[in-house]
Each structure stands twice: as structure tokens, then as C-alpha cells.
Structure 1
């Protein structure tokens, strides 16, 4: 009895293991049992059949050797279709021939009937509800074992009434195991369906948010342009006034164009000419650009430490854009003024750029959400600037770390691959 239980547990493991292995390593969100990765699952189920036959759990006589090879055969036929069923039959039949014995012919005939008949039930099976599926697989297993019982009586004259008790136990064991296997597969498929639905919903929601955000952001400059054009059409203004209106219209158009460019950088980052740039020189240029805005906000920009030979590979314009966005956010976070410091360090295979402000700071929850679409710590912000920053840095194969504490400021740490290490690689 103990040996039978041990053999049964081993057989169950041989059946469940490929399913769990598939669940662990198949591409998440792209799985559909025995449709995706059909070859891999066929191989795994073939291995299950072979192992079940090598380590059977019951020898009633030399003619009757019991194992759970029928479980992967039936499951493979129902979920994989005729081709998978044919391959599994060949594996099972060849294995049974090697084992030998008079019961070999009954076993191979039984397996042939499963391989031919069960795939015919596949279209109806896939449309059934879970309860109906479990009843069907249980019924197929019972019919298969009954065939063995009757065939043994016909070919070998085995007395059915002496063996019926043992056969009932075997039917119950086989039926229970295949039902549990089918339920496990159905659970995996249900989880994949929910995951795919969630991914699709998130994509649709993201597109919806993008559309709403673009419409909202572009509406303001468009309305201004429309208003000034209507004024120019309905009234006669002197030349100076017309020039003033034209300047405002051009400014609004430039703002709209800049907004569209930012969205394109986030939605589909593209790079122009990649080149090896000196980090110190680029930061000096960025400081010159942002210094007037910082002075207006009563913020002092300081370059604390530099690295003369530090170089990174980047699109110069996009690199500038990422640095400018971080520095501007830091300046705007210091509502009462302060000092924004910038430092560059050589970390051997990477370059570290630290940008530290003395602003309002952020909570841990806010830091975790940085770079998410439409999240901003500013009242009128859209979060677009930080989305662009994260997109550009990731395209440079870099990473961003943010240390912040409410009321004590924020430190942005940009780790970028050093150009020297890329050239060596």
C-alpha cells in the first residue's frame, strides 16, 4: 500500500510539474494553454508520459500495469488537438512496447482510441463551462478504464467480479487526478484571460488619457490664437498692435508645438545623432540656459564638483531637455528661493549626475509615482516633464534614483553608462 501511494504521488508530480513549469516561464500575458508554446508543452507532456510508464504505481498482474499516462494524453488531446494527440500516442505506444507483456496490446489499443476519439470532443469541450469540462474528463477516464477491464475479460478471461473492487478504486483515483489537472489548467487560463483583459484595458485607458490630456493642453493656446485672429478680422488695428498680436499668436503656436514634441518624446522616443558628449560642458550649457529663470525665482545655481573627462553617449538635444526639466522642477519647488546644486562623479563604468534642491520635497508615495502619466506634484502640472525625463534617461540605458523628504528638498541621481565603458564593450 505504501509503495502504491509513493508511486501515485510520483505520477502526480510527473503530470503537474510541466504545467507549473509552463506557468513559471511562459511569457506572461501571452499564454494560451497548448496554443501558445505548443511544441514546448507537447515535449513536456511526452516526458510526463514516459516518466509515468517508467515508474508505475501498481502491478496487479503482469498484464495490468497501472500509471497515470492517460492523464497527460487526455489533457493534451483536449487542449492541443489532433496533432498533439498523435505525438503523445506515438510516445506512449513506443514506451509501452519497450515495457512489453501481454497487456501491451490492450494498452496500445486503448491509447489509440484516446488519440483518435478525444480530439473529436475538443471543439465542444472548449465551449463548455467548468463543471461540464470536469464531468467530461472524468467520464473519459472512466470509459478508458472500463475498456481495459472489459478487454481483459474478453482477451484473457479475467473474472470481472473478482476485480471490480480494485477497478473502482483505480477509476476514482484516475478520475480525481484528471479532474484536478483540468481545474488547474482552467485556473491558469482564467488568470491569463484576466491579465490580458487588464493589459488591454490599461492600454485603452492610457490612450484615452493621452487624448484627453492633449486636447486639454492644446485647447488653451488654440483658443488664444482663435481669439486674436477674430480680433484682427473684426477690427482695424494700427501696425504696432498687429505686430503685438502676431507675436502673441506665434508664441502660442510655439508653445503648442513644444507640447506636441514633448508628447512625441514620451510616446515614441526618437533620437537624432548620437555622439560622445562631455558631461561638464553640457551641464554648463544647461546652467547658462536656466540661470535667468533661476535668478527670477531667487534661486542660485551651483556646480559643486565636476569630472573633466566624463563622457556619455547621447542625443545632445534630448540630454539637454532632460536636465533642463529636472532643474526647472527643482527651481519651481523652491517657492521662497534657495540653492540648487549640481555635481558630476565618475563611478568607473557609469557617470553619476546629482541635482539637489532645497524645495518642498515629496513623500515616498509621490516619489514612487514620479514619471507616471499625468502625475504631478504641482497644482497646474501635467507630469509631462518628468515623463519625458524618465523616457530620455531610459533610452540612454540609464537609471534614475530620487531621494526626497517633505520640507527638506529632493536629490535626483542620474546614473548613465560611461562612453568609455561602451566603447570597450
Structure 2
């Protein structure tokens, strides 16, 4: 009994292992089990068949040695198609011939019938519901074993009533195993389908956010330009007034171009030239530049540079823009005033810029969404500023760590590789 259980467990492991390995290694969004990794899965299923035959087990009597080689053969034929079925048949047939013994010819004939007939069911099988697929593989398994039973009766004269109990156990054993295998495969296929659908949905959602943000931001300058052009068409303004309108129109066009440039920063993997720059100078320079704006809102800015000069590689203009976005957001998050402190630190080969405010703070969910298109904590915000900030920092091979709590302020930690 112990040997039977050991052999059965071994066979089950030989069958399940390739399927689990597929789930671990398959690329995201793969929907066609077996087909997407045809060669690899054929090799793995061939090994499963060989191992099942090498480690068989007995049921009820020592006269019948049994294994689960038909499970990977049937599954491979249904999910892989005729070519896979032919390869698996050759592997199983050669293995069975090498093992030899009584019933070899019946076994090879049975394998041939399964390998030749099952692939014709594949088109219909792939369109079935999960329940019908399970029923189909179970029926195929039972029919295959019935073929063996009646062939043995005809060739060896074994009375059906003497062997029916054994074959019923074999049918139940193999039937349950192939049903479990089919359910596992269908679960994997369903998970991959859901993942693929989710990936497409996220892409479409990202596109819709971009479209909404672009249309929202471009509408204002476009309406201004349209209004001034309509005024000049309707009224005969003086030359000086027309030049004033022209200047305003050009300002609105520049504003629209700046917006488009911001989106290009997010879309392009490289923007501008990456130069050696002093972190102390750049960070403290931005805080000095925004000092008057912060003071007008009752916010004091402080910069604590590193003790020695440290350098990183980046685009100065875009790095300043990223810093401006973070600092402005921090300043605007303190409606009652407060302090914002920037600290520059060095840890081994890394440079850390910490920017801490005393603002309203954010929830964990809001922190996780920072940098997403069209997400903003501001009433009229589009999330474009933080989206650009994240893109710029990532282009500089940096990372952004945000710690925040409602009512207790926010700390932005920017980590960059140090440039010697």
C-alpha cells in the first residue's frame, strides 16, 4: 500500500511540475497554454511521460502495473495540437517499447489511437466552457482505459468480470488526475486572461488620462487665442492695440508649447543633456528663487547643504523644474504658513535630498498615486507637475521616496547615484 501511494504521488508530481513551472516562468499576458512555449512545454511533458513510465505503481493486485503517462499525452494533444501530439506519442511509444513486457503492443496501439484522435477534438475543445472541458478530458481518459481493458480481454482472454474492479480503480485514479490537471491549466489560462485584460485596461486608462489632461490644459490658451483673433476680426483696432493682442497671443502659444514639452519629458526616455552638477548649488538655488513666493504665503524656506561639494549627473533645467514642482506643492500645502527644510546628505555612493514640509499631508493611497497622470490633490490640478517630476528623477537614475501623514506634513526623499 505504501509503495502504491509513493508511486502515485510521484506520478502526480511528474505531471503537475511542468504546469507549475510554466506558471512561474511564463511572460505576463500569455493566454495560450503550451502554444506560447511550445518547445519548452513539449520537452517538459516528454520528461513527465518518461518519468511516469519509469516509476509506475500497482493497484489491488500485482498483475497490473499502472502509470499516468496518458495524462500529459492527452493534455498535450488538446492544448498543443497535432505536432505536439505526434512528438509525445513517439516519446511514450519508444519508452514503452524499451520497457517491454506483456501488453506492450496493446499499450502502443492505445497511445497511437489517443495521439491520432485527440488532436481532432482540439478546435471544439478550445471553444468549450471550463466545465465542458473538464468533462471532455475525463471522458477521453475513460475511453482510453476502456480500450485497453477490452483489448486485453480479446487478446489475453481475461474475463471482464474478473478485472472490472481493477479497471474501475484505474479509471477513477486517472480520471481524477486528468480532471485536476485540466482544472489547474484552466485556472492558469483564466488568470493570464485577466492579467492581459488588466494590462490593456491600464494602457487605455493612461491614454484617456493623457487626453483629458492635454485637452484640459490646452483649452485655456486656445480659447484666449481664439478670443483675441475674433476681436481683431470684428473691430478695427489701432496698430498699438493689435500689437498688444499679438503679444498676448504669442504668450498663450508659448504656454501651450511649454505644456507640450512637459508631456514630452514624460514620454521620452532621454530629454536634454545630462551634465555634472552641484547638488548644493542647484537645490539651495531653487529654494532661494522661490523664497519671495513662499514668504508671500507665510512659509519660510531653509536649505541645509552637505558639508562638502557633491555632484550628480542630470539635466540642470529639468532638475530645477522638478525641484520647483515639489517645493511649490509643499508651500501650497501649508495654507496657515510654516517651514520647509531641504537637507542634502551623502551615504556611501548615494546622494539624498530630503524636502520636508509642515503641510496638510497625504493618505497612503494618495502617496501611492503620486506621479499618475491626472491625479492631483489640488482642486484645479491635473497631476502634470508631479508626473513630470517623477519622469525627470527617473531619467537621472534616481528614485523618489515619499513619507506623509494627514495633518503632519510630507517628506520627499530623492536618492541619486553620486558622481565622483
User: Relative to structure 2, which stretch is displaced further, 301-310 or 168-177?
Assistant: 301-310
Per the alignment, residue 152 of structure 1 pairs with 152
Moved >6 Å (runs of 4+): 59-63
On the 8 A contact 1:15/1:48 being kept in 2, the answer is yes
Per the alignment, residue 263 of structure 1 pairs with 263
Per the alignment, residue 8 of structure 1 pairs with 8
**Deviation readout 1:253-305 (Å, 9 max, x if unpaired):** 22211111222222344322223322223224433543343344343332212
Secondary structure at the counterpart of residue 37 of structure 1 = helix
**1: distance between equivalents of 2:263 and 2:318?**
13
User: Relative to structure 2, which stretch is displaced further, 158-167 or 239-248?
Assistant: 239-248
> How far off its partner does 1:414 sit?
0.3
**1: distance between equivalents of 2:249 and 2:63?**
93
**2:163 matches 1:163:** yes
On the 8 A contact 1:307/1:346 being kept in 2, the answer is no
> How far off its partner does 1:82 sit?
1.5
On the 8 A contact 1:63/1:104 being kept in 2, the answer is no
On the 8 A contact 1:269/1:392 being kept in 2, the answer is no
CA-atom RMSD in angstroms = 2.2
Secondary structure at the counterpart of residue 345 of structure 1 = strand
Per the alignment, residue 38 of structure 2 pairs with 38
**2: distance between equivalents of 1:173 and 1:233?**
87
**1: distance between equivalents of 2:362 and 2:155?**
81
On the 8 A contact 1:46/1:88 being kept in 2, the answer is yes
**Deviation readout 1:314-363 (Å, 9 max, x if unpaired):** 22332222112111212222223333222211111211011122222223
Segments of 5+ residues of structure 2 without an aligned counterpart are none
**2: distance between equivalents of 1:316 and 1:44?**
54
Per the alignment, residue 83 of structure 2 pairs with 83
Per the alignment, residue 348 of structure 1 pairs with 348
**2:225 matches 1:228:** no
Segments of 5+ residues of structure 1 without an aligned counterpart are 421-425
User: Relative to structure 2, which stretch is displaced further, 272-281 or 136-145?
Assistant: 272-281
Secondary structure at the counterpart of residue 290 of structure 2 = helix
Per the alignment, residue 419 of structure 1 pairs with 419
Secondary structure at the counterpart of residue 35 of structure 2 = coil
**1: distance between equivalents of 2:307 and 2:392?**
22
Per the alignment, residue 189 of structure 1 pairs with 189
Per the alignment, residue 179 of structure 2 pairs with 179
**Deviation readout 1:222-269 (Å, 9 max, x if unpaired):** 111111111122223334433332332222222211111222222344
**2:319 matches 1:319:** yes
Higher relative contact order (CA 8 A, sep 6+): 2
**1: distance between equivalents of 2:150 and 2:38?**
35
Matches within 5 A, 1:111-150: 111-150=111-150
**Deviation readout 1:126-147 (Å, 9 max, x if unpaired):** 1222233222212211221122
> How far off its partner does 1:381 sit?
0.9
Q: 1:60 to 1:100 in 2, by over 3 A?
A: farther
Per the alignment, residue 400 of structure 2 pairs with 400
On the 8 A contact 1:75/1:182 being kept in 2, the answer is yes
**Deviation readout 1:385-415 (Å, 9 max, x if unpaired):** 1111112222222211112233332211001
**2: distance between equivalents of 1:317 and 1:43?**
55
Per the alignment, residue 47 of structure 1 pairs with 47
**1: distance between equivalents of 2:284 and 2:250?**
29
Matches within 5 A, 1:213-252: 213-252=213-252
Using the size of structure 1 for normalisation, the TM-score is 0.92
On the 8 A contact 2:352/2:415 being kept in 1, the answer is yes
On the 8 A contact 2:59/2:166 being kept in 1, the answer is no
**Deviation readout 1:190-244 (Å, 9 max, x if unpaired):** 2221221222122222212221221122111111111111112222333443333
Secondary structure at the counterpart of residue 22 of structure 2 = helix
**2: distance between equivalents of 1:364 and 1:136?**
49
User: Relative to structure 2, which stretch is displaced further, 195-204 or 73-82?
Assistant: 195-204
Q: 1:26 to 1:397 in 2, by over 3 A?
A: same
On the 8 A contact 1:62/1:101 being kept in 2, the answer is no
> How far off its partner does 1:37 sit?
1.5
Secondary structure at the counterpart of residue 149 of structure 1 = helix
**2:359 matches 1:359:** yes
Q: 1:130 to 1:154 in 2, by over 3 A?
A: same
Secondary structure at the counterpart of residue 21 of structure 1 = helix
On the 8 A contact 1:280/1:307 being kept in 2, the answer is no
Q: 1:373 to 1:169 in 2, by over 3 A?
A: same
**2: distance between equivalents of 1:241 and 1:105?**
102
**2: distance between equivalents of 1:212 and 1:59?**
67
